[in-house]
Amino acid sequence: MSDGGSRAMVEALKGLLGSDRVFTGGPEARAASADESDLGSVEPLGVVRPREAPEVAAIVGLALEHGVPLTARGAGTSLEGSSIPSPGAVVVDFSAMDAVAELVPEEQRVTVGPGIVYERLNRLLQPHGLFFPPSPGGSADAATVGGMVSTDASGIYALKYGGTRRWVLALDVVTGRGDSMRVGRVVPKTSAGYDLKDLFVGAEGTLGLITSVTLRLAPLPPEARKAGFVFDDLAGACAAAAEMAAFIPEMAALELCDAETLDLLRALPAYASLPSGHALFVEAHGRADDCVQGVEAAAAVAASHQGRPLPPGLPDPWEMRHRTTGVIRESARPRGVVRTDCAVPLRRLADFVAEAKTRAARRARTLHVFGHVGLGILHLLMPLAGPGAWTRDEALAEKRRLALAAISVGGTSSGEHGVGLGNRDLLPAEHPVGLAYMRGLKSLFDPHGLMNPGKVLPGP
């Protein structure tokens, strides 16, 4: 697009929103140029901060008129580059659209602006005995509901409650054609036609922009009980996790943290008393008796795989677990990490992890393994600096190999972080026939290719 076209777009946006909500250059544009991946940055043409749906529709109208791409942004915590601006794009920052529009506790539903932050929403719901469960781990205090819907985010409680998709009833969207529409209904079930709403869940802003989200809510569990176990053998920890997930119905969360990652946590003063080994953290939900029974059953399974309880007095397991991504990235400065969040069927978990570790060890490389193992979701992180560092080429080749291995056993290249830029080239292997249908849907909803172009779908 010509400089003249870009200038005309910026002037038109200022005319629409006023100069105080259109940012070109400066700290706002720099802050919106990257996400939490290590996949680089792109300074956007500008950043706009709409306050209501009609403004979003008008922004899409201007993008169509001037041929300027748009990249939606919640909090920018994506780990696969999905919120890095497309080249030449205007970033539509949804942080000001964060109101609760309607809360109907007796129907267990809420309608919110897409910019509301996950933890804030749950704080508002707590007095009503309700919550939105997925819990995206270490980003729960920042990730927005719009970003979670657009990546189909999950997290520690997705084992019992499922990921974001399960809780989305309806969305108001502006498509890449400029149409405003509601997809989905506020009732819990509909059989009326193709499910357009589910197409927007996980679309990473490539089909259109979400201006409102209606969620179903879960009742808060009457009781919760946490425990942790440590194993000398990683395959044993994985086998125990698979058994707990399959046979202990009270399990709400089931997380793995391997020894290399625990070593980094132990270096922090608060966690100095962590034992060495591979850890499983669990949480049971239900009535008090059920929770006790669930944790006792988990302890029995752990013991049958030579696991032992973590010593008492350690900090909250989720507080530790939520710091894993941060400590690993810190250890890999200044180059960062290459990651995959592939997922495998539970019965493949132990072999998959053991083989990945053996391959890394053979080359004297560090491979961090943690994740929502109750769902088979593994976060495998390869540091590009520090002890056991991989070269970027080696790590990218290994990421591809791991993801293809996961796909070959029926798993997926991304359990929850999405495709963005980092997993794009894996899509043909996972959807050899489906990819053409995905391209057809993209051109139906976004015929001019202006909605977060370059994300999700690989080049032709």
Residues that bind ligand FAD (CB under 6 A): 35-36, 71-79, 82-83, 94, 114, 136-139, 143-144, 146-148, 150-151, 153-155, 204-205, 209-210, 325-326, 416-417, 452, 455
Please tell me whether residue 346 adopts helix, strand or coil conformation.
helix
Return the amino acid letter for 270: A
Q: How far apart are CA 117 and CA 411, in angstroms?
A: 30
H helix or E strand, kind and range, residue 327: helix 324-331
What residues pair up with 219 in beta bridges, in sequence order? 130
Q: How far apart are CA 393 and CA 295, in angstroms?
A: 43
Q: How far apart are CA 287 and CA 111, in angstroms?
A: 29
Minimum distance of ligand FAD from residue 363's CB (angstroms): 27
Q: How far apart are CA 257 and CA 276, in angstroms?
A: 11
Minimum distance of ligand FAD from residue 135's CB (angstroms): 7
The alpha carbon of 161 is separated from its chain's Cα centroid by a whole number of angstroms, namely: 16
Choose between 325 and 331: whose C-beta lies nearer to ligand FAD: 325
Q: How far apart are CA 217 and CA 229, in angstroms?
A: 31
Choose between 78 and 366: whose C-beta lies nearer to ligand FAD: 78
Other beta carbons within 10 angstroms of residue 66's beta carbon come to: 20
Choose between 94 and 229: whose C-beta lies nearer to ligand FAD: 94
Minimum distance of ligand FAD from residue 451's CB (angstroms): 8
Other beta carbons within 10 angstroms of residue 313's beta carbon come to: 6
Choose between 235 and 251: whose C-beta lies nearer to ligand FAD: 251
Minimum distance of ligand FAD from residue 210's CB (angstroms): 4
The length of the chain, given as a count of residues: 460
Minimum distance of ligand FAD from residue 182's CB (angstroms): 14
**DSSP-derived secondary structure letter, 373:** G
Minimum distance of ligand FAD from residue 326's CB (angstroms): 6
Choose between 160 and 455: whose C-beta lies nearer to ligand FAD: 455
Choose between 91 and 295: whose C-beta lies nearer to ligand FAD: 91
Give the burial class of 88: count Cβ atoms within 10 A of its Cβ; 0-12 exposed, 13-18 middle, 19 or more buried: middle
Q: Is 88 left (phi over 0), alpha (psi -120 to 50) or beta?
A: left
Q: How far apart are CA 228 and CA 238, in angstroms?
A: 14
Choose between 236 and 336: whose C-beta lies nearer to ligand FAD: 336
Structure tokens at 262: 């625990």
Structure tokens at 137: 């781990």
**109-112 β-sheet, strand order:** 100-104, 109-112, 208-216, 168-175, 180-184
Minimum distance of ligand FAD from residue 354's CB (angstroms): 24
Minimum distance of ligand FAD from residue 234's CB (angstroms): 20
Provide the H-helix boundaries in 18-94. 26-31, 53-66
Choose between 228 and 307: whose C-beta lies nearer to ligand FAD: 228
- In the complex, which residue's CB is closest to ligand FAD? 147
Choose between 277 and 418: whose C-beta lies nearer to ligand FAD: 418
Minimum distance of ligand FAD from residue 178's CB (angstroms): 15
